[in-house]
Amino acid sequence: NGKSVAIAITTHGSDLYWAICAIMITATMVFVGLAATKPRHHRIFHYITAAITMVAAVAYFSMASNLGWTPIDVEFQRNNPVVRGVNREIFYVRYIDWFITTPLLLMDLLLTAGMPWPTVLFVILVDEVMIVTGLVGALVKSSYKWGYFAFGCAALAYIVWELVWTARKHASRLGSDIGKAFVSCGSLTAFLWILYPVAWGVCEGGNVISPDSEAVFYGILDVLAKPVFGALLIWGHRGIDPGRLGL
Ligand code: RET
């Protein structure tokens, strides 16, 4: 009947989550505002990108309010009468966010490259496998979590390959302006997405860094992967008629 120890965010982590929530709300308003300045059939990338930051705003509101998490045992000291168990705060709400937003990010990119819909669909399905294996792995207490992690990494390897090879070639065939827009956003994405499993490894996976540091690591990645990516993508589409992409 000893005491248990919970590893959780402090006010520092919460404050950072509030700040990022504000960034996501602001970005959403900017993207929706920019959409309104375009004719309706030129708004597809504004709408997709605004939806991404809109979902993230709600996820960050949850984490800032210290909601959307569950305690997961990270260490179990069977014979210690004082410390009965150590658990870590795992924010499952991240994965609800990612399950909705990573397919939208991939749509932004693959539609920019003019990829045919069966490819877009399959890359998105593989992406959903990646997010769900990450969630299940985060909730599993035993070292089986690393098995789920390995499946997720295999899925990511396929996605990155499709982006940096297949889609890049496809985009450049549609014109140098489309090729350039794709390469800037595609390389940012390939670079950032590879850092997510690194963050997972030291947070949900290995419990190496604190939940406050987790807020910094995932927070920087999310700001770059959503609002900064979105601004770059919308800027890249200036002067590109969606009709050239079959949209
Ligand atoms: C997990 C763990 C399992 C292995 C891999 C992962 C990759 C996650 C990625 C997330 C991207 C999120 C983005 C969010 C919004 O901005 C699930 C962490 C490979 C790539 C871009």
Q: What is the pLDDT of residue 159?
A: 98
- Ligand 1 center to 132 CA (angstroms): 10
Q: What is the ipTM of this complex?
A: 0.98
Say if strands 70-75 and 83-90 run parallel, antiparallel, or are unpaired.
antiparallel
Which residue lies with its CA nearest to atom 3 of ligand 1?
134
Decide if 44 contacts 109 (C-beta within 8 A): no
- Ligand 1 center to 200 CA (angstroms): 8
- Residues in the chain, overall count: 247
- Ligand 1 center to 241 CA (angstroms): 31
Q: What is the pLDDT of residue 5?
A: 83
- Ligand 1 center to 212 CA (angstroms): 19
pLDDT digits (tens, 9 = 90+) for 59-113: 999 999 999 999 999 876 666 767 778 899 999 999 999 999 999 999 999 999 9
Question: 182-201: b or e for each residue (b if 16 or more CB lie within 10 Å)?
Answer: bbebbebbbebbeebbebbe
Q: What is the pLDDT of residue 3?
A: 73
Does 222 sit in the ligand 1 pocket, CB within 6 Å? yes
Q: What is the pLDDT of residue 75?
A: 73
Best residue for ligand 1 mutational test, from 23, 24, 54, 131 (most atoms within 8 Å of Cβ):
131
Does 156 sit in the ligand 1 pocket, CB within 6 Å? yes
- Ligand 1 center to 2 CA (angstroms): 36
Best residue for ligand 1 mutational test, from 158, 161, 188, 200 (most atoms within 8 Å of Cβ):
200
- Ligand 1 center to 196 CA (angstroms): 5
Q: What is the pLDDT of residue 56?
A: 98
Q: Which residues of the chain, if any, have pLDDT below 70?
A: 1-2, 76-79, 81
Does 131 sit in the ligand 1 pocket, CB within 6 Å? yes
pLDDT digits (tens, 9 = 90+) for 159-170: 999 999 999 999
